[in-house]
Amino acid sequence: MEHVISGVAKFQKEVFPTKKARFSELAEGQSPEVLFITCADSRIDPNLVTQTEPGELFICRNAGNVVPPHSSQTGGMTASIEFAVAALGVSHIVVCGHTDCGAMKGAIEPEKLDSLPHVKEWLSHCRSATEVVRDRCGSLTHEHLDQVTCENVIQQMQHLRTHPSVATGLASGRVTLHGWVYNIGSGDVLCFDEETREFKPMDERYRAMFGDMPKEVAAGSCCS
């Protein structure tokens, strides 16, 4: 904890002064372009991976980068998504999974989560991903972790479409969905390609495709 506290002191003395103008603007409000939904895993740093500054990403994190389907029961993710899209007016939503995801390991073997009942219930939102991979690959083991990680991103994007604010944004062309998987060991970011229905490394074509004109990323498969 000592290094965390000393980090605050360093931020106040060395970092904040260099960005004082930016923080003065942010003190009056925010206008992020991107809602970034990712895992709570301590190894993931959205601002570091995307090289963005404070105020550019509206970040939602939880175990497994889960988006519960819309329902009449209010939850933290539902409220955050509604606020980001309907109030802040974000134009892009990224669902970003990652390699070696403990939540996906739990989703593959939920019977081992009996001592963590709330985690087990939360990961029931990933069941469609595990069942798709089981059906496609004929079995489901930890050897299929990467496939489940990809499929889970796709399934959470499907859940996003059930939220009224997102559905409205997609219908009007104001909102674009993106599915990413971040490789912790290599730094690579895989992006879902709607034309080939596969996850591929982020490249100039992807950046050009989504640079100016919104275009919804469709669902598909990454099982190999």
Contacts of 46 (CB under 8 A, 6+ apart): 36, 38, 52, 57, 59, 96
Cα-Cα-Cα-Cα dihedral of 212, 214, 219, 220, to 10°?
-30
Check: CB of residue 107 under 8 Å from CB of residue 88. Answer: no
Check: CB of residue 122 under 8 Å from CB of residue 100. Answer: no
The answer to whether the annotation marks 60 as part of a ligand binding site is no
The answer to whether the annotation marks 39 as part of a ligand binding site is yes
The answer to whether the annotation marks 98 as part of a ligand binding site is yes
What span, in angstroms and rounded, lies between the C-alpha atoms of 33 and 211? 12
Q: Which residues of 86-101 are buried (b: 16+ CB within 10 A; e: fewer)?
A: eeeebbbbbbbbbbeb
What span, in angstroms and rounded, lies between the C-alpha atoms of 76 and 118? 15
The answer to whether the annotation marks 101 as part of a ligand binding site is yes
Contacts of 114 (CB under 8 A, 6+ apart): 120
Tokens of 194: 């709607």
Which residues carry a binding-site annotation for Zn(2+)? 39, 41, 98, 101
Which residues carry a binding-site annotation? 39, 41, 98, 101
